[in-house]
Chains A and B, each alone.
Chain A
Amino acid sequence: MTKTPHISVQHLNVHIGNQHILKDININIPDKKVTSIIGPSGCGKTTLLKSFNRLLDNTPDVKITGKVLVDGEDIYAPDAEVTHIRKKMGLLSQRPYPLPMSIYDNVAYGPRIHGIRKKQQLDQLVEEQLKATGLWNEVKDRLNASATRLSIGQQQRLCLARGLAVGPEIILGDESTSALDPVSTSIIEDLFISLKEKYSIVLVTHILRQARRVSDYIIFVYMGKIIEFGPTEEVLLNPREELTKEYVKGYIS
């Protein structure tokens, strides 16, 4: 962690209704690395991830305090432009949710809403991102087909291409492989590893082996608190905290 952090979370508290979901979170997410958030179900992993691109805003009865700095800019500041913040981050959800349009339009959707209209430029972007996610050869002859015709694994890669097309700096993955078969999972994992050259990647996962395979750093969250944060091997093989030890060994889940 020599570089400056890409996302810096300071005293973040999230309440939903009368539940205290995230408790005084302080963390620096390193730049151009893969960071995995692990922890038992319901511990607040996904909430933490969604706080990074303000997707919690629309949750009923939500109260968020504290700061989340992205490139030094507080995204919860009153004058922060939410569409601008979200454009900086691509989100890959648990299951692929292609937009109800063609393969081409799915990738072109982001660039289009951000003002790119020229066909030539869009064509180039679509091709580029479909190649980056290894989908180009599989779909180049049917770009106008409905995105829902693709297999689940292909759809997930399409969603990744769609996210990359808006030119983000950060990729957020919310258990992005949990609906996929082993082959598609390993394709996505390999993509994450190769994409970290250009992007900072934050993943939520409940699969420890996956966290070990892809991530450089691990955050262990338990009951809404960060218990431990450090390099992957250290957290998984030689945890400092008793709770982390128990979780890694499978005593708590």
Chain B
Amino acid sequence: MKRRKLEELFFRLLMVLATIVVAGSFFLIVGTIFIKGVHYMSWDMITKVPGGGFYIGKDGGVLNAIIGSMYVAGGATILGLLISIPVALFINIYIDGKMFLSNTLRAAFDVLFGIPSIVYGAFGFLIMIYFGIRASLLGGIIAVTLLVIPILVRTLDEVIRTVPFELRDAALSLGATRWEMAKVVLRQIRPGIFTAILLSFGRAIGDVASVLFTAGFSDNIPTSLHEPAATLPLAIFFQLGSPVEEVQGRGYASALILTIIVLVITVLSDILIKKFSKHKI
């Protein structure tokens, strides 16, 4: 009896400790960024593009990178979804009788999921060279789309697999075609689609390696897909590397901006997930 109680206590302590470490790191990271960056946070940071001499501590902001990152992450997520939803439906609904094929595809996406983003950057770069695209917003979006597709497919796949088979049978037995049944499945997983969007956007907006060669960098806000675009992670990277204290501080402020964007997206998708869970069984 005593041993069982000790065991209970031990594992409970272990769980509490692990939770403290994780939650603590979270607050430490956000806290560090906040303390180091809040001082350099200004209206200019989010409303102005870098002026001349911005990188040695003079006027300007990182609006170019904020907009650039939103374009890249938003574009890649939308493009990724357009590709991933059909793939996930195909794996789950159209070839569900052929286990070998669907499992092979799943394994392939697992491998892609684990590939480091620099490889997608390099691959995207090769595609760009082949098609004669220079470092640009378009190039960045292509590379980041490649990066987020495995995330989207695997997330959607998991969500679709939680839909009870009986629900599919219910639609089919009413005489629905597979596509009509797939639409019912899509309705059922709407909250899951927002989770996938959130994961994809979060990964896309924070990734630096995939945009390093592909999106380029510019002090201007891109006005077309063919212009180079700055991104927040790269802006942070450049600023933190500076010996000037003012510029370093702005690097932390940029990190704070990136964190806030991710936070806002998270809260927004949470609201949407709740809203669309209404009819879910």
In the assembled complex, A80 has its CB within 8 A of some CB on chain B: no
Which B residues touch A53, using CB under 8 A?
A: 173
One of A61, A100, A148 near B184 (C-beta < 8 A)? A100
Interface size class of B (residues with CB under 8 A): 20 to 34
A113 within 8 A of B: yes
> Are the C-beta atoms of A60 and B172 separated by less than 8 Å?
no
> Which residue of the partner chain, among A94, A97, A113, A172, contacts B180 with CB atoms under 8 Å?
A113
The A/B interface has a contact count, at CB < 8 Å, of 84
Given A93-B166, A148-B279, A113 and B175 contact (CB-CB distance below 8 Å): yes
B195 at the interface (CB under 8 A from A): no
Determine whether the beta carbon of B167 is less than 8 Å from that of A99.
yes
Contact with B along A57-79 (1 / 0, CB 8 A): 11111100000000000000000
A97, A98, A102, A172, most chain B CB atoms within 10 A: A97
Task: Report whether A159 and B170 are in contact in the complex, using a CB–CB cutoff of 8 Å.
Answer: yes
Contacts of B172 in A (CB 8 A): 55, 58, 86
Asked if A83 CB lies within 8 Å of chain B CBs, one says yes
B245 within 8 A of A: no
| A-facing residues in B188-207 (Cβ within 8 Å) | 188
Number of interface residues of A (CB under 8 A): 36
Q: When the two chains form their complex, are residues B176 and A91 in contact, meaning their CB atoms are under 8 A apart?
A: no
A-contact 0/1 string along B148-174, CB 8 Å cutoff = 000000000000000010111111111
Question: Which of B164, B170, B184 has most chain A Cβ within 10 Å?
Answer: B170
Q: Would A97 and B164 count as touching, CB distance under 8 A?
A: yes
User: In the bound complex, do residue B169 and residue A101 qualify as a contact, i.e. CB atoms below 8 Å apart?
Assistant: no
Q: Is the CB of B175 within 8 A of A166?
A: yes
In angstroms, Cα B254 to Cα A197, docked, is 73
Contact status of A60 and B175, CB under 8 A, knowing A91-B170, A102-B279: no
Beyond A59-B97, A97-B166, is A86–B173 a contact (Cβ under 8 Å)?
yes
**CB pair B166 A100 closer than 8 Å:** no
Judged by DSSP, the binding face of A is mixed
B17 near A: Cβ within 8 Å?
Answer: no
**In angstroms, how far is the closest chain A Cβ from the Cβ of B92?**
11
The contact of A163 among B173, B176, B177, by CB within 8 Å, is B173
Chain A residue contacts of B278, Cβ below 8 A: 146
Q: List 19 A-B contacts (CB under 8 A).
A: A57-B97, A58-B168, A58-B172, A60-B99, A62-B97, A83-B176, A86-B173, A90-B173, A90-B174, A94-B166, A97-B166, A97-B281, A100-B279, A101-B279, A146-B278, A146-B279, A147-B279, A148-B281, A159-B170
Q: Which residues of A contact B (CB under 8 A)?
A: 53, 55, 57-62, 83-84, 86-87, 89-91, 93-95, 97-102, 109-110, 113-114, 146-148, 159, 162-163, 166, 172
Interface contacts beyond A55-B172, A113-B175: sample of 17 additional A-B pairs, CB < 8 Å, sorted by A = A55-B169, A58-B96, A58-B172, A60-B96, A60-B98, A61-B97, A83-B176, A86-B172, A87-B175, A90-B173, A91-B169, A100-B184, A100-B279, A102-B279, A109-B174, A110-B174, A163-B173
